[in-house]
Amino acid sequence: MGTTEKLATFIVDFDFSKLPASGMEQMKISLLDTLGTALVGSTRPMATIMSNFVKKMGGNPQARLIGSGMKTNVLDAALANGTFAHYEDYDDVDDFGHPAVVLTPPVIALGEQLKLSGKKIMEAYSVGFEVGSKIRNGLGVGAARKGFHMTSLFGTMAAAAETAKLLGLNVAHTRAAMGIAASMASGIMQNFGTYTKPMHPGHAARCGMMAGILAKDGFTGDPDVLEGRLGFFYVFGDGHSDIRRVTENIGSPLAIASHHVFIKAWPCCLENHLALTAMFNLIEKYDVKPEQVEAIDIVQPGKGPGPSFRNYPKTGLEGKFSVQYNMATALVDRKVDVNSHTDEKLARPMIQDLIKKVTRVQHPDFVDLPVRLEGGKPNFAIVTLRLKDGRVLSERVEQARELKGEEVYAKYQENARIGGIGKDKIERTIELIKGLENLKDVTELVDTVVS
C-alpha cells in the first residue's frame, strides 16, 4: 500500500470515537478564534471587493458569508470566509502554517449546505489537520525556503482530506481527491502584505473542496499523487524530505490532540511575536518612551528575513510583515491590535523615524549553521534598546506571548463586536462551540456569525 492510499484509508476509517478530549478542546478553541478573525476581516475594504466578486459570480445559494450573511455557492463561500479570516493575520498557527483558517471554511460551508452535525465536522476537521500535519512532516520546510506559503501548499491537501470525510468518499475517490488537489496547491510569499496573502487559505479551502466534490462524481486524479515519480514530493520536496514520515504513526497520537496550536495575541505575522513579547516586557519594566530611544537591536538565531521581509513597509498591510514597523508601533502606541496596521498610522513621522532605528541580525553562534540543521536551532529573540541617555536595556525571550483559556474567549468577544455581532449572538456562539459535539445542525452555528 502506497503513501496516498494509506492516507486515504486513514481518512475513510477515522471516526469521532477516536478523537480524544484534548483534540476536541483544541479544535473548539481554533474554530472559535477563526470565526472571530473572520468577523473582523469581513469589515475591511478587501472584504467588500471579495464579496462583490462572489456576488458577480453568482451560483446556487448554498452557504453564507460570515458577517454579511450573503448566500452563495459552497466553493465561493469557502473562498470568501477563508480570506476574511486570514486578513488580519490573527488566526492560529501550527507546523503547517495556519490550519484553522483553511479547515474552518469547508466545514462551515458544507456543514450548512448538508445540515451536518457537530460531530461530523469535528471528525472531518481532525482528518484534515492530520493530513496537513503529516504531509508537512514528511516534506519539511524546503518548499517554504523556496518561497511557497505552507498554509496554502499543505492546506489544499488538508482541505481535500477534510472534504472527502465530510462527503463520505470511499478510498478510491479519496485518492482521486488528493490527486486533484495536488495540482491546485500553490501560494507564494512574495504576495505577503497584499490582499492576495489572506486569499491563500481561502483559495486552498475552495480548491480542496472542489477536489472532493469532483472526485465524488467520478472525476479522476492520480491515485498515487504524493509518492508518484512526478508527484507532490518530487515537485515540492528536497533532499531533506522523507515521505515515510507521512504515514509513520498516523493518528497515533492524533495531531490535533498532541500539537501545540498557537493562538495569537497580536494581528501580525508570527515572526514578529518573539520580538514583540520582548519589547512589551521592556516597556512594562522600564516605562520606555519612544523619544528616549536611539536604536533598537534585534538578535535572533534565524538568517532572516523570513515571511516578515517588508523592512520598510509602504502600506499598513505590509506593516504586518515588518518587524521594524511592529517594534515602532508597539513603542509608540504601547499596543498592537486590529487598528494598528493602517496607512495613516504607518505614515506618522515618529513611526517612520523609529523604523530606521531598528536593526535585525542573526546571532553569531548560528551564522555558519548548515541549512539542514536549522530546524534544530533554538527559538529566541533578544531585543536591546539603546537610549539617548546612554542606558542599554535588553530582554531575551524564548516563548512568544500567546492567548490561553479565558483570553481566547475575550478575543472572540471583541472581534465579534467589531464584526457587528450583538452580545446575545456572541454568547450563543461560545455556547455552541463549547458543546459542538452535541450540535445537530451546523446551520445553527452559522446563524450566530452573520449580522
Q: SS3 string of 11-57?
A: HHHCCHHHCCHHHHHHHHHHHHHHHHHHHHHCCCHHHHHHHHHHHHH
Q: How many beta carbons lie within 10 A of that of residue 212, not counting itself?
A: 29
pLDDT digits (tens, 9 = 90+) for 188-200: 999 999 999 999 9
Say which range, 101-105, 307-311, 443-447, has the weakest mean pLDDT.
307-311
What is d(CA 112, CA 125) in angstroms, rounded to the nearest whole number? Answer: 15
pLDDT tops 70 at residue 263: yes
Confidence of residue 302 (pLDDT cuts 50, 70, 90): confident
Q: Which fold has domain 270-397?
A: 60s Ribosomal Protein L30; Chain: A; (3.30.1330)
Q: In the prediction, which pLDDT does 21 show? A: 97
Q: In the prediction, which pLDDT does 367 show? A: 75
Mean pLDDT, to the nearest integer, of 239-267? 96
Mean pLDDT, to the nearest integer, of 379-384? 94
The answer to whether the beta carbons of residues 125 and 256 sit under 8 Å apart is yes
pLDDT tops 60 at residue 400: yes
Q: Are strands 293-300 and 71-72 parallel, antiparallel or unpaired?
A: unpaired
Mean pLDDT, to the nearest integer, of 185-210? 97
pLDDT tops 80 at residue 370: no
CA atoms within 13 A on the CB side of 389: 7
- Helix (H/G/I), strand (E/B), else coil: 67: strand
State the pTM of this model. 0.96
Say which range, 123-127, 210-214, 237-241, has the weakest mean pLDDT.
237-241
Q: In the prediction, which pLDDT does 303 show? A: 74
β-pair partners for 64: 71
The chain-wide mean pLDDT, for the chain, equals 95
Q: In the prediction, which pLDDT does 150 show? A: 95
- Between 379 and 276, where is the model more confident? 276
What is d(CA 316, CA 325) in angstroms, rounded to the nearest whole number? Answer: 9
pLDDT tops 80 at residue 372: no
Mean pLDDT, to the nearest integer, of 251-270? 96
pLDDT tops 60 at residue 377: no
In the chain, domain spans: 3-264+419-447, 270-397
Confidence of residue 369 (pLDDT cuts 50, 70, 90): low
pLDDT tops 80 at residue 373: no
pLDDT digits (tens, 9 = 90+) for 19-57: 999 999 999 999 999 999 999 999 999 999 999 999 999
Percent of all residues in the chain with a pLDDT value above 90, rounded to a whole number? 92
pLDDT digits (tens, 9 = 90+) for 134-157: 999 999 988 888 899 999 999 999
Q: Are strands 293-300 and 381-387 parallel, antiparallel or unpaired?
A: antiparallel
pLDDT tops 60 at residue 362: yes
pLDDT tops 70 at residue 376: no
What is the CATH superfamily name and number for domain 3-264+419-447? 2-methylcitrate dehydratase PrpD (1.10.4100.10)
Provide the total of helices (H) and of strands (E) in the chain, helices listed first: 20, 6
pLDDT digits (tens, 9 = 90+) for 71-84: 999 999 999 999 99
Q: Give the CA angle between residues 218, 219, 224 to the nearest 5°.
A: 100
